[in-house]
Structure formats: structure tokens, C-alpha cells
Amino acid sequence: MYKKAGYHIWDTWYFSKNDKVHMYHLTCKDDIDLHKRWSFGHNVSKDLINWEDCGIVLEPGKEGEWDGITLATGSVKEFQGIYYMAYTGNFAGPVPGAGLAVSKDLYNWEKVKENPISQCINNEYYTDEPNLAWNQPRWRDPWLYIEDDSIYHFVCAGKKGAPPETSGTVAVVKSKEMKKWNYLPPLDVPPIAQDLECPKVYKVNSMYFLKVHSYAGYRLEGSGPTYAAIFCYLCRFF
């Protein structure tokens, strides 16, 4: 669909406004190892075939900052007249977290001063123990979701007290104004893997659907095919 000479391109996420689709994606020059130092690229299309390159819109923070090593996958939503991009910082550690950037036009983005808005913690719901596959703590891929006057972000996380092989869960964090966030219990999902990546919640009519991604390194042996897979669950959230 889109490629750029001299650059890696990885995960993508999208936002439609008027007659344009905005594609944001992980990117870095191809002389940099994958997953070591991602920035966010931005492209715009009217037909999903021809894409205008709008350049880099967000970069890692300074050395020592919570997102100073690399950025990673996020999502975009419009809330109370402002565009918000939730994104991952330092997904491989030492302490991965989720942050926000704001925009008035979808082209120019600024990180909020309250960052990080959530982080990998060891509390009553979630664990900061690393996964078995990569020996990495889990708190990444925040998906913004709006319901009535509240906004949530769902995160790939580790469930407290679960067996390591099936501890992958979807964390829930809630806010009313995008500044103060409260950790809620995780979604009730089947114990199938170490990590449930890129969680996405959709509401269709009165039903909620959860889509997550897992692959061989994160799957429980014997629980199903050992290849990359996308799972979709019908769920009750509220």
C-alpha cells in the first residue's frame, strides 16, 4: 500500500476526517535495527491508493525521559474538539508506558506535560514481571475509546497472579478529562497467550467486540495454531 525508500515502516493506525484518511506509522531509517528507535510518520490519502508524505510528526524524547529510547504503536481519537494520539514509550523497558500527544489539525502534534498517563506497574490488577518470549515488561499499544463522557485506553499488559504462559491481558485505564487516569480491572479475556497485542474495542449496535493480536512466541503451547493470529471476542464491557 505504501513504502518509502530508505525507511522501515511497521505498525500503522488510522483516523478519517472529512474526505481524507490519515495514516500514522512506526518508521526509522533502514540503517537502524528494527524496534530500536521508532518515530511516527504521517501520510494522507483520499483514495487509500495515493499517499501524501507529511513527514515525521512525533519523535522519542530526550535521553533519560520516559519515552527517550523509542516510541511504539498508538491510536488517534477526537475528544471535545481536540485530537489526541495515545502512544507507547520505551516498550521494551525499563518501564514502558502510555503517553498522549495533542493536535488541532492532525498534522502538528505536541506531547502533553502530564506524560506518561499510565505505566507498567505492579498493583492489584497488573504485573510488571516480563514476558517469557522477550523478557520484556508489558504496557504498550494504547487504544483510545470514548463512551458517553468518559474516555478509556486499553493496553497490552500482564495480569497479576496469572500463570506466566497465559498472563496476557487487556488493561483498562479511564479518565473524564484526559489528565487524571484511573486503573481499572482488566477485560475478562480467555487465558491464551503471554501477550495480547494491539487491543481494539469496537461497539456495533449494542454489542462490544474486542480484537487482539498474538503470535507463536506469545502463544500457549497446545492452545492452537503456532502462527500469527488475530482473535476477536464478543464481550460485555459496561
pLDDT at 225 over 60: no
Chain CA centroid to CA 158, Å: 14
Helix (H) or strand (E) holding 203: strand 197-204
Q: Which of 151, 193, 148 is nearest to 172 (CA)?
A: 151
> What's the pLDDT tens digit per position in 91-119?
999 999 999 999 999 999 999 999 999 99
According to the model, what pLDDT value does residue 153 have? 97
According to the model, what pLDDT value does residue 234 have? 60
pLDDT at 220 over 70: no
> What's the pLDDT tens digit per position in 19-46?
999 999 999 999 999 999 999 999 999 9
> What's the pLDDT tens digit per position in 127-168?
999 998 889 999 999 999 999 889 999 999 999 999 999 999
- Cα 86 to Cα 29, 117, 164, 174, 220: the distances in Å are 23, 9, 27, 13, 29
According to the model, what pLDDT value does residue 206 have? 84
> What is the average pLDDT across 208-231?
65
Q: Establish how many alpha carbons lie within 13 A of residue 101's alpha carbon, considering only the half-sphere containing its beta carbon.
A: 25
Among residues of the chain, what percentage have pLDDT more than 90? Answer: 79
> What's the pLDDT tens digit per position in 61-88?
999 999 999 999 999 999 989 999 999 9
According to the model, what pLDDT value does residue 214 have? 84
Helix (H) or strand (E) holding 150: strand 150-158
Those residues with Cβ within 8 angstroms of residue 111's Cβ, 6 or more apart along the chain or in another chain: 58, 61, 67, 99, 100, 101
Instruction: Find residue 77's DSSP bridge partners.
Output: 84
Q: Which of 135, 132, 159 is nearest to 221 (CA)?
A: 132
Distance (Å, rounded) from C-alpha 132 to C-alpha 124?
A: 21
According to the model, what pLDDT value does residue 227 have? 45
- The single-letter DSSP state of residue 107 is S
Q: Domain 7-235 is in which class?
A: mainly beta
Handedness of CA 222, 226, 232, 236 (dihedral sign): positive
According to the model, what pLDDT value does residue 190 have? 87
